[in-house]
Structure 1
């Protein structure tokens, strides 16, 4: 059963987060160089969506483990999304 400790899943999650980290650094540079606000907002939206995808991948891991009842997964989704 796949868990976050599964090397392949762990690697995929870490790689996603590293990409988001790069996006955030890019956004910081955009702000520092007085880039148009709409372009900054667009990049912020992309970073937020990337984090959301990572979050849902983690929720998938929780579901795949099977040791959290469905109602608890639903509560987690409503609390954190």
Structure 2
């Protein structure tokens, strides 16, 4: 998971920068539409990170199944519920 972990952390760092940018926009009294546009981009970025984490979890479940089938089914159900929860 080293590559995926690095991608996730990089995306989160970019998102953190976007949030700081929005804070500055608000301090500078930028137009509402510009702030909302940036907030929408932040939301998309966070959604993408969540998808990456859930996908990695699902991949891990299939590559390294739990010894207990009931536990495996529970993990898969949790991951699926996280995806469709939107």
- TM score, norm. by length of structure 1: 0.82
Which ranges in structure 2 are unaligned for 5 or more consecutive residues?
A: 66-71
Correspondent of 2:44 among 35, 39, 49: 49
* Total equivalences in the alignment: 75
Unaligned runs of 5+ in 1: 1-5
1:10 aligns with 2:16: no
Larger Rg: 2
Counterparts of residues 49-68 of structure 1 (less than 5 Å)? 49-66=44-61, 67=65, 68=72
Q: Over aligned residue pairs, what C-alpha RMSD do you find?
A: 1.5
More helix by share: 2
Pairwise CA distance, 1:78: 4.0
Q: Deviations over 1:34-81 (max 9, x none)?
A: 0000100000000100110011000101110114533222222344x3
